[in-house]
Amino acid sequence: MKPLWMDLTRVAHASASNLLAAVAPSYYLRLTGQTGRGRAEERTSDVADYFLRSFDDYFRQLEVAATDIPAWLAGKTLLEYGPGDVPAVALLMIAYGAEKVWCVDRFPMLRLSEKNVAVLELLLGGLSGSALQRARGCFLRHGDLRSGFDPARIEYRVNASGLSGLRQCADMVYSRAVLEHVNDLQATYADMASALKPAGVAVHLVDLKSHGLHKDNPLDFLVWPEWLWRLMFSHKGVPNRWRRIHHLQAAEGAGLKLTNVQTTSTADPADIRRVRPALAKPFQDLADQEFACLGFWMVAETRA
C-alpha cells in the first residue's frame, strides 16, 4: 500500500482549506454547502422521512412503544448534539410532548432556507390535534416557520467546543451521526453526563465509517498520523476517527452506565488485515473487533 502521507497535493489542499475553516467557519460552511446529511441534492420528502425515521429510531432504542411516546416525553427537557441545518427531530420531540430541547452545535449550521421550511411544513402536515399545536408553538410567531425558533422550546446554541455546559437539566441526551465528529471525545461525554438529570438517559447513533475520506480501503483513513489528520481536518468537523472502544471508555469514564450497545455496520476482515500494518499510532494496539465495528447505537444512563 502506498503511504498516504506521500499524497502531498491532498495534504496541501486539505491543510489550506482547514485554515480557511478555522478563520471563517460560516463562509466555509456556505462554500461546501454542508447540511449535516451530506452534500447530495435530496428531495424534501426524503429529508422529512429521514427525520421521522430518526425520531422513531430513538424510541426503538429506548424500547418505548410508539403509542407510549407522548406519555414518556411529557414535560421532559432534552439535549441534542449536532442537529445539522434544521432541528427537525427537536421539533418532533416537542410536538409529542417534550417541554424544551437544547440543540448544541460546534458549527453555525442552522438555516431556515426555503428547502428547510418546506421540510418543516411537511412534518407539520403529518401532525394533528395537540401535537400540531405544540409544533406550531416552537416558532417565535405561532405557526410562522420563517419567524425562527422560540428558545423557550428549541434553544439553538453554537460554541467552539460544541458542549452544552448544562448541569442536571436534561432527561434525555440524543444525537445521530455526531459523536464521530466531536473534537474532544472525553469532554463531550463529560458534558453529556453532567447535563443529564439523575435518572437521565443518553441515546446515540455513531457512524464510524470514513465519510468518504478513505482511498483504496474503507479503513485506510486510520493510517494518517494524528498530527497530520488534525492539520488537514481539525476545523471541518470530519470524523475524529475514534473507535467504538474509545466511545465506550469515554462514556464510562464520565460516569455513565452503558445499558445497550448494538453494532449497525461491519468491516470486511480482509480490509482489516490489509490496513493493520500501516495503522497510525492511536489504533495500533486495538483488537480486530474494534476495526470491524463501523457504526453502533449506544444507550446509557446516569449511575444511581
Ligand X SMILES: C[S@@+](CC[C@H](N)C(=O)[O-])C[C@H]1O[C@@H](n2cnc3c(N)ncnc32)[C@H](O)[C@@H]1O
Residue 10's closest CA among 229, 282, 234? 229
Interface with ligand X in residues 18-57 (CB under 6 A): 36-37, 54
- Beta bridge mates, 102: 79, 155
* Least distance (Å) between residue 84 CB and ligand X: 3
In sequence order, the 6+-apart residues with CB closer than 8 A to the CB of 226 are 280, 281, 282
d(CA 19, CA 257) in angstroms, rounded, equals 38
Residue 87 binds ligand X (CB under 6 A): no
- Contact string (CB under 6 A) for ligand X, positions 105-134, x = contact: xxx-x-------------------------
Residue 247 binds ligand X (CB under 6 A): no
Residue 293 binds ligand X (CB under 6 A): no
Q: How many chain residues touch ligand X (CB under 6 A)?
A: 20
Give the interface segment with ligand X, choosing from 69-77, 104-112, 221-229, 279-287 (CB under 6 A).
Answer: 104-112
Alpha carbon 206 to chain centroid, angstroms: 7
Give the interface segment with ligand X, choosing from 55-63, 99-107, 111-119, 292-300 (CB under 6 A).
Answer: 99-107
Please say whether the beta carbons of 183 and 61 come within 8 A.
no
Interface with ligand X in residues 150-179 (CB under 6 A): 162, 176-178
Residue 104 binds ligand X (CB under 6 A): yes
In sequence order, the 6+-apart residues with CB closer than 8 A to the CB of 94 are 100, 101, 134, 135, 137, 138, 153, 154
**Binding region for ligand X (CB under 6 A):** 36-37, 54, 81-84, 104-107, 109, 162, 176-178, 181-183, 237
